[in-house]
């Protein structure tokens, strides 16, 4: 590969963001347009990856390798496999949406906002593309700076509390990860190369220590119960674009960390710690769903539903079989799309009513029928209606969980029922009942908003009806990952389950 | 009857840089006295002189002069460059501060340069006598600098406090040195190591006492808890530009002799000083970071942060390995950029008659001056240790060195305390970006200030992204010494 596609993905948005520095502060229309064009080009740049990607091999592709800090054997090395390619796509997509959603909602310090967003995009790309543990950590931490500012400067009334809490939670977790990385470096032959690190075996005791050090960072980011408390605050107070990025990409990074580091590098510890992880996942599913029922704030409800949905993701992950893992990765993409869409929709309605109180809404279906239609689709996808993408992911996860420990699937299924309850109840409270006085005469969605939401609907049905489009990228990489975890013999049959699912 | 004394000029060669600096210091006084209208020459001469000396230092070849008393090796060159950089950046910031605070004494630059001479001698000290000589030569001008701002009551208090504490620390050091001399019969640092090894003195209780006294003395100088109590008061009372200088250059010079004595003089005692320093480092990070949490004055907060960072820098020393020493050296260099940068912004905040040193004065800075706020953001994220700034990579190197040497709990402690430190640094960022402040403030960026800030921010970001060069230099310097 002669063209450094992956480096371009990282540095193009960063340089693009810096180019906004030269635009006058009051030219907000130009600034917005530039940010949109940059994210669209970035999305286009992902396309060649998909077209040129070789689905038959689990090795890293499009590799780039440069020596960086020779004193510490740190390299600038990038690459993607079947797992990260989906996240790269998700990131590029979510960024376009979040630029669109901040079109009118961001009115102060517009320039700084878009610069922060674009730098954030570059850092997020770096997280998914790095194949050097140290490089990964650089991007992982660097992401905190723009996110801290996005929540803290453009957020809601309690933004400062929320952003400081977010920063401190993630920083503390990440620093323990850093200690883990150093420990791994010293015991793993003085290298940060992920492939090399995964190819060695470590004593169980060391693996367990490392597992918990990694857990500190990844579990906070996911967020797993009981370290999830930053998420509702950050989600609620962040500007619409921030919430979309948080739900769409940021919290996926925790699960990606488990996939990329904990599972392949620490297979024995992962198998050893299976039960606690599954229990935490099930608690997150049921607890998150029950808390949702008690929420009176729109965004907070969606935030807690993320806790519940990410519980599904970690459940599938730690089921450690093919169905569970593929379901889990697919569900992350799905959740990114669905929750992203929900936050987009909530952002649009919030711009009209300026309230997030569920109680002050009612009867929107008669004032904004098009919006009601979109929201219904997103709600059904979140609930996991067959035919939407939410169903495929959750179904695979439940199968995987059942194969591993049947009772986890039983509890997780309860979460599904609770999920249907709170989402449909939310829909009822927002869109039906009698029309509230303040809800009369709200303008219907404009063209820009419809154009923003329409691709989400397409994606929901496309993945829902033809999941193989994404799953086919995963198979080989997931099988390879499972071989690493189980040391050769893969449990369960490796037949393409998606064939049976797609109509 | 007359005897001609044959002077061996060749012997003087290794100390030409120091002699040149002394000459410049004298010239500065003369210029100030006899050409009072040419005051703008003073900072220029200081910068140019330091640069000339810097070129000489960087190009110098390893040598030993005066029978081993004065050593030029990679280690000395590294610290000399570091201290000279500190002096240059401080000088660039000085004119702005002197204009605003009305601190017009011409001796200022001369004192700065004289203390730089002391630092250079410290970096090259191969003998305890030279070490002490350099230490005092560095400290005396700084006592005067701290008290230079005669209209401010706090500075007199700070100067007295610093003088007394500094004298006390020197006394401890001297006592330790005399014990060492009594035990080994030599003041040459390399010979001390040899005597201890040959005569198996490592278990001698008197040697332990000497080690304790030396560590206490050095810890006073680098402001390591529990010997840090003078720091907040002196740092707060001193003129801001002097505080900036003190928190960087003299601290680095003190670390230079600290490392020299421990690594080259007392390597046999590493089993003793390693754990002692580990406890002190943890205590320092705890005291520095936790006390900084409850400060309302930005200047005082930076003083406590400087204490905490001395604790981080100790992590490399206590590891007792070449890699550890290289990590400490690299961190001190990186710390120079980020700390001087943060102080430069603090100086910019001040206006005539109003020092503006509290946290509230940062409120709404982003609206008043986006550039100043963005720079402060970079420096503070570097002080927290977030990539891609140099603060992160430096701290990583330190943690890795201490970890490799087996101080796992110390590293975990360091990591937890740096998470705590994030809170008070972030509070300033929060005030700058997320609060409203008074709008009617105008910022004057003088050319010197622009140069200093550009240098610092380039250092922080450049070393953050490409630290390889610095690490290699520090690594080879630590090996060569």
DSSP-assigned letter for residue A439 = G
Let me know: does A45 contact A5? Beta carbons within 8 Å.
Answer: yes
* Cα first-last separation, chain B: 47
Query: What CA–CA distances, in Å, run from B301 to A139, B288, B306, B424?
Result: 29, 9, 9, 8
Q: Is B406 on the interface with A (CB under 8 A)?
A: no
Contacts B381 to A, Cβ<8 Å: 145
CB distance B393 to B387 below 8 Å = yes
Q: State the Cα angle at B75 between B413 and B379, rounded to 5°.
A: 50
Contact A156, A196 (CB under 8 A): no
Is A213 an 8 Å CB contact of chain B? no
| Domain residue limits, chain B | 14-480
Question: Taking a C-beta distance cutoff of 8 angstroms, is the pair A14, A122 a contact?
Answer: yes
Q: How many Å apart are CA A308 and CA A397, to the nearest integer?
A: 13
A159 touches B: beta carbon within 8 Å: yes
**Contact criterion met (CB below 8 Å) for B260 and B188:** no
Please, what is the average pLDDT of chain B?
Answer: 89
The confidence band for B481, taking pLDDT boundaries of 50, 70 and 90, is low
- List of chain A residues whose C-beta atoms are within 8 Å of the C-beta of residue B404: 186
Look at the block and give the residue holding tokens 């090259």: B124
Region of residue A384 (left: phi > 0; alpha: psi -120 to 50; beta: else): left
- Residue B331 touches chain A, beta carbons under 8 Å: no
Q: Which residues of B touch A171 (CB under 8 A)?
A: 384, 386, 419, 422
CA dihedral A393, A395, A397, A398 (to 10 degrees): 160
Using CA atoms of B45, B47, B50, B51 in order, give the dihedral in degrees to the nearest 10.
-110
Enumerate residues 6+ apart whose C-beta is below 8 A from B22.
B114, B117
Pairwise CB contact (< 8 Å): B387 & A137: yes
What tokens were used for A136? 């990964």
Which two three-digit tokens encode residue A448? 């820009």
Q: Do B433 and A69 touch (CB under 8 A)?
A: no
Given the DSSP bridges, would you call strands A61-69 and A74-80 parallel, antiparallel or unpaired? antiparallel
Tell me which residue has tokens 């001479």. B117
Chain A contact for B387 (CB, 8 A cutoff):
yes
Distance CA A383, CA A373 (A): 15
Picking from B381, B426, B472, the nearest residue to A164 by CB comes out as B426
Please, what sign has the CA dihedral across residues B344, B350, B356, B360? negative
The ranges assigned to domains in chain A are 273-503
Q: Is the CB of B400 less than 8 angstroms away from the CB of A185?
A: yes
Rounded CA gap, A211 and A215, in Å?
6
Task: Tell me which residues of chain B, numbers 434 to 473, contact chain A at a CB-CB cutoff of 8 Å.
Answer: 434, 467-468, 471-472
- Looking at residue B65, the DSSP 8-state letter turns out to be E
CA angle at residue B280 from B275 to B285, to 5 degrees? 125
Distance from CA of A334 to the nearest CA of B (A): 31
Per-position pLDDT tens, chain A of length 503: 578 888 888 999 999 988 888 888 888 888 888 899 999 999 999 988 888 888 888 888 888 888 888 878 888 899 898 888 889 999 998 898 888 888 877 888 888 899 999 999 999 999 999 999 899 999 998 898 899 989 988 887 888 888 888 988 898 888 889 889 888 888 888 888 888 888 888 888 888 989 999 998 999 988 888 888 888 888 888 888 888 898 888 889 999 999 888 888 888 888 888 888 889 999 999 998 898 888 888 888 888 888 888 999 999 888 888 888 889 999 999 998 888 888 888 888 888 888 888 888 877 777 888 888 888 889 888 888 888 888 888 888 988 888 888 888 888 888 888 888 888 888 888 888 777 777 777 777 788 888 888 888 888 888 888 888 888 888 888 888 888 888 754 444 444 444 444 43
**What is d(CA B91, CA B113) in angstroms, rounded to the nearest whole number?**
10
Alpha carbon distance A449, A430 (integer Å) = 19
Q: Cα separation of B261 and B129, whole Å?
A: 12
> Does the global pTM surpass 0.95?
no
């Amino acid at each position: 590969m002669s063209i450094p596609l992956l480096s371009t993905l990282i540095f193009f948005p960063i340089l693009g963001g810096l180019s906004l520095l030269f635009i006058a502060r009051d030219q907000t229309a130009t600034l917005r347009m530039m940010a949109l064009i940059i994210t669209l080009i970035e999305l286009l740049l992902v396309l060649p990856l998909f077209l040129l990607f070789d689905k038959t091999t689990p090795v890293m592709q499009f590799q780039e390798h440069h020596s960086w800090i020779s004193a510490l054997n740190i390299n600038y090395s990038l690459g993607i496999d079947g797992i990260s390619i989906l996240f790269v796509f998700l990131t590029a997509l979510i960024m376009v949406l979040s630029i669109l959603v901040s079109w009118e909602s961001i009115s102060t310090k517009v320039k700084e906002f878009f610069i922060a967003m674009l730098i954030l995009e570059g850092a997020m790309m770096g997280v998914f593309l790095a194949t050097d543990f140290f490089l990964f950590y650089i991007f992982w931490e660097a992401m905190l700076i723009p996110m801290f500012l996005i929540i803290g400067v453009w957020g809601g009334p309690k933004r400062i509390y929320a952003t400081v809490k977010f920063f401190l939670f993630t920083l503390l977790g990440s620093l323990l990860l850093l200690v883990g990385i150093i420990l791994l470096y010293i015991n793993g032959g003085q290298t940060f190369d992920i492939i090399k690190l995964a190819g060695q075996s470590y004593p169980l005791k060391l693996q367990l220590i490392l597992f918990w050090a990694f857990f500190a960072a990844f579990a906070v980011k996911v967020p797993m119960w009981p370290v999830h408390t930053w998420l509702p605050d950050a989600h609620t107070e962040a500007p619409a674009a921030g919430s979309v990025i948080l739900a769409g990409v940021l919290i996926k990074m925790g699960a990606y960390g488990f996939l990329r580091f904990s599972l392949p590098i620490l297979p024995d510890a992962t198998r050893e710690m299976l039960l606690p992880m599954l229990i935490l996942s099930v608690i997150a599913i049921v607890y998150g769903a029950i808390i949702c029922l008690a929420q009176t704030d729109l965004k907070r409800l969606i935030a807690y539903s993320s806790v519940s949905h990410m519980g599904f993701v970690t459940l599938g992950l730690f089921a450690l079989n093919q169905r569970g893992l593929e379901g889990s990765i697919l569900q992350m993409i799905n959740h990114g799309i669905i929750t992203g869409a929900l936050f987009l929709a909530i952002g649009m309605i919030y711009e009209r009513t300026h309230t997030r109180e569920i109680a002050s809404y009612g009867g929107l279906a008669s004032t904004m029928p098009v919006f009601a239609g979109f929201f219904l689709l997103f709600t059904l996808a979140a609930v996991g209606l067959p035919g939407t993408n939410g169903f495929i992911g959750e179904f695979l996860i439940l199968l995987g969980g059942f194969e591993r420990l049947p009772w986890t699937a039983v509890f997780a299924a309860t979460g599904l029922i609770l999920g249907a309850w709170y989402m449909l109840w939310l829909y009822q409270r927002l869109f039906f009942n009698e029309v509230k006085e303040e809800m009369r005469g709200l303008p219907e969605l404009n063209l820009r908003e419809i154009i923003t939401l329409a691709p989400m609907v397409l994606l929901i049905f496309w993945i829902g009806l033809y999941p193989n489009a994404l799953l086919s990228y995963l198979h080989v990489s997931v099988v390879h990952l499972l071989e690493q975890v189980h040391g050769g013999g893969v449990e369960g049959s490796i037949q393409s389950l998606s064939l049976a699912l797609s109509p | 009857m007359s005897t001609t004394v044959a002077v061996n000029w060749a012997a003087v060669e290794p100390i030409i840089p120091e002699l040149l600096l002394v000459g410049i210091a004298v010239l500065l006084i003369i210029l100030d006295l006899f050409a009072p209208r040419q005051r703008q020459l003073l900072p220029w001469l200081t910068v140019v002189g330091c640069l000339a000396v810097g070129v000489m230092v960087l190009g110098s070849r390893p040598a030993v002069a005066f029978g081993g008393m004065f050593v030029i090796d990679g280690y000395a060159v590294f610290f000399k460059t570091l201290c000279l950089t500190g002096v240059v950046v401080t000088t660039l910031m000085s004119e702005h501060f002197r204009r605003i605070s009305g601190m017009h004494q011409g001796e200022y630059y001369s004192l700065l340069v004289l203390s730089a001479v002391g630092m250079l001698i410290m970096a090259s000290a191969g003998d305890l006598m030279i070490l002490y000589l350099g230490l005092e030569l560095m400290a005396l001008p700084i006592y005067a600098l701290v008290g230079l701002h005669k209209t401010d009551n706090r500075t007199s208090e700070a100067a007295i406090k610093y003088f007394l504490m500094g004298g006390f620390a020197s006394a401890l050091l001297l006592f330790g040195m005399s014990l060492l001399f009594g035990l080994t019969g030599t003041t040459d640092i390399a010979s001390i190591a040899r005597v201890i090894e040959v005569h198996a003195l490592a278990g001698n209780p008197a040697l332990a006492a000497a080690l304790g006294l030396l560590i206490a003395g050095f810890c006073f100088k680098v402001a390591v808890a529990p010997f840090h109590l003078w720091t907040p008061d002196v740092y707060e009372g001193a003129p801001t530009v002097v505080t900036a200088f003190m928190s960087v250059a003299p601290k680095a010079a003190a670390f230079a002799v600290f490392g020299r004595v421990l690594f080259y003089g007392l390597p046999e005692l590493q089993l003793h000083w390693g754990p002692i320093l580990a406890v002190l480092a943890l205590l320092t990070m705890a005291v520095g970071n936790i006390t900084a949490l409850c400060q309302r004055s930005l200047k005082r907060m930076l003083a406590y942060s400087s204490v905490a960072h001395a604790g981080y820098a100790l992590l490399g020393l206590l590891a007792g390995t070449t890699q550890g020493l290289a990590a400490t050296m690299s961190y001190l260099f990186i710390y120079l950029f980020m700390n001087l940068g943060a102080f430069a912004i603090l100086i910019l905040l001040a206006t005539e008659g109003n020092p503006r040193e509290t946290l509230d004065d940062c409120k709404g800075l982003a609206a008043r001056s986006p550039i100043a706020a963005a720079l402060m953001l970079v420096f503070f994220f570097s002080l927290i240790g977030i990539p891609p700034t140099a603060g992160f990579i430096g701290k990583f190197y330190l943690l890795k060195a201490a970890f490799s040497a087996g101080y796992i709990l110390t590293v975990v402690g360091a990591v937890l305390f740096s998470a705590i430190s994030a809170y008070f640094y972030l509070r300033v960022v929060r005030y700058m970006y997320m609060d409203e402040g008074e709008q009617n403030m105008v910022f004057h960026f003088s050319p010197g200030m622009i140069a200093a800030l550009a240098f610092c921010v380039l250092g922080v970001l450049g070393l953050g992204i490409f630290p390889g060069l610095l690490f290699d230099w520090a690594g080879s310097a630590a090996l060569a010494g």
